[in-house]
A and B are shown apart, each in its own frame.
Chain A
Amino acid sequence: MALTQQDMDNEIARHREAYEKSVAEGAPRADHPPRDYPPYRSSLLRHPHQPLVVVATARDPEAVELGSPAFGDTDVTELDNDLTRRHRGEPIGERITVTGRVLDRHGRPVRGQLIELWQANAAGRYAHQRDQHPAPLDPNFTGAGRTLTDDDGGYRFTTIKPGAYPWRNHTNAWRPAHLHFSVFGTAFTQRLVTQMYFPNDPLFPYDPILQSVTDDAARQRLVATYDHSLSTPEWSLGYRWDIVLDGPAATWIEDGR
């Protein structure tokens, strides 16, 4: 039996109501999606049944996970944060800049760490053989970029706005336009892979991946802000999106900056 969007909307609503009820009864608010989120069908067989085992890093300063891989100037080129200049010609689409800061959960900048970005093209197609959605590939756009955060935790990408695209979670399932981000912190515990959305997308309520973040305020943190002061005349539209890494880090050493 084909699963309709209405079925999906009902499932999403049930999970949100259950979450709101648990918060009303005193459960803490959840910053992250549950790994067990049945509306996202691919999660059914891929989430652990056992609870995660807690490692208290405050009592475990030698934990490997309190360190993080380092990345440096050899790992990125100067053009890597501009996804529009990777081929001979210009990609098709609406040119955008996305900028923001990477912070830890105490609000401190995460400096000199790697951010990777990947995305579909303006027509909503990934440069991936398994994406057979009937939308055109763009010979001038691959859709992968990298950068290192600066001393203020800042980053900046130039790219084109990706399109929405269909997927097979249920009948007539469409993903809202999004950018995939991969971020490293100063500790491996802070590792984050996530997706950034664009403001006011009408597909938000229908998407079980975005709705897997059942907390309204947390979900809003995945949506960038349009910032007109970041738009460049005759060139590009600007969006701002700050990223806050969860997870404990090693004791922070004040370095005077």
Chain B
Amino acid sequence: MSTPRPTPSHTVGPFYGYALPFPGGGETAPPGDPDTITVHGHVLDGEGTAVPDALIEIWGPGPDGELPRKGGSMRRDPVTGGFLGRNGVDFTGFGRVPTDADGHWAVRTLRPGARGEHAPYLSVCVFARGLTHHLFTRLHLPEPADALAADPLLASLPPARAATLVARAEPHRTFRFDIRLQGADETVFLEFT
């Protein structure tokens, strides 16, 4: 049997805003969960200018390292056809937010647990006008340091490049992760084979 060739990627364009973002898209953590963290940052272009029309998707495991298998990220109201928001209990592991006019995004999710040899991380997928094909990167938490040192991907990169994959701790269990699409301090982007 011949294998089919992949469908090419295309840009998400500038006008996805009434279709892809959904209420509660950045509220991945069930309210009140003590393992909640906030991850946020700016998306910047090659001149350091904010990208106001990017779309960020976050996918990650729960604190136990297990990947969720539950739906309900974009739970719907069968009465009105609108959005109900998440059910307040289940953790789906999936968040999606557009950047704002300042190029800023934020997602509240659960602290990811480690899997295999990896330091704990969230998978991040970036879409934007001008990006013909989305970009994957990884948001690692800045601790524990020994886990970062042992991470196979981070260890394979020059330290300055690896540093682009590690979020910076801020007060109140908040972590800053800027995404630089191009130029000095360009974020490391990944290709999966």
Give the residues in chain B near A182, CB-CB below 8 Å. 12, 20
Q: Does A212 contact B (CB under 8 A)?
A: yes
B186 and A103 contacting across the interface, CB-CB below 8 Å: no
- Residue pairs across A and B with CB atoms within 8 Å: the count is 251
Give the residues in chain A near B192, CB-CB below 8 Å. 54-55, 57, 63, 65, 189, 247-248
In the assembled complex, the CB of A16 is this many whole angstroms from the nearest CB of chain B, namely 14
Give the residues in chain A near B2, CB-CB below 8 Å. 107
Chain A interface size band reads 35 or more
B182 and A105 contacting across the interface, CB-CB below 8 Å: no
Q: Does B47 contact A (CB under 8 A)?
A: yes
A49 and B74 contacting across the interface, CB-CB below 8 Å: no
| 104-142 of chain A: CB within 8 A of chain B | 105-107, 116-118, 120, 126-128, 130-131, 142
- A50 nearest in chain B by CB position: B186
Give the residues in chain A near B182, CB-CB below 8 Å. 45-49
A63, B12: Cα distance in complex, Å? 25
In the assembled complex, the CB of A65 is this many whole angstroms from the nearest CB of chain B, namely 5
A65, B124: Cα distance in complex, Å? 9
Interface of B is mostly: loop
Residues 155-193 of chain B: 1 if any A CB is under 8 Å from the residue's CB, otherwise 0? Answer: 011000100000000000000000001110011111111
Given contacts A53-B188, A55-B153, A70-B70, contact A32 B116 (CB under 8 A): no
A121, B169: Cα distance in complex, Å? 45
Given contacts A54-B191, A75-B76, contact A45 B46 (CB under 8 A): yes
Q: Does A15 contact B (CB under 8 A)?
A: no
A45 and B19 contacting across the interface, CB-CB below 8 Å: no
**Count of B interface residues, CB-CB < 8 Å:** 81
* The stretch of A1-9, A36-44, A91-99, A226-234 that contacts the partner chain: A36-44
A45 and B130 contacting across the interface, CB-CB below 8 Å: yes
B18 and A118 contacting across the interface, CB-CB below 8 Å: yes
A194, B57: Cα distance in complex, Å? 16
Residues 56-70 of chain B: 1 if any A CB is under 8 Å from the residue's CB, otherwise 0? Answer: 010111000001111
| 115-156 of chain B: CB within 8 A of chain A | 115-118, 121-123, 125, 127-136, 138, 152-153, 156
Q: Does A188 contact B (CB under 8 A)?
A: yes
Sample 14 A-B pairs with CB under 8 A, ordered by A number. A45-B130, A53-B153, A53-B156, A55-B191, A64-B123, A67-B67, A69-B93, A70-B68, A74-B71, A144-B18, A180-B16, A192-B7, A221-B6, A221-B8
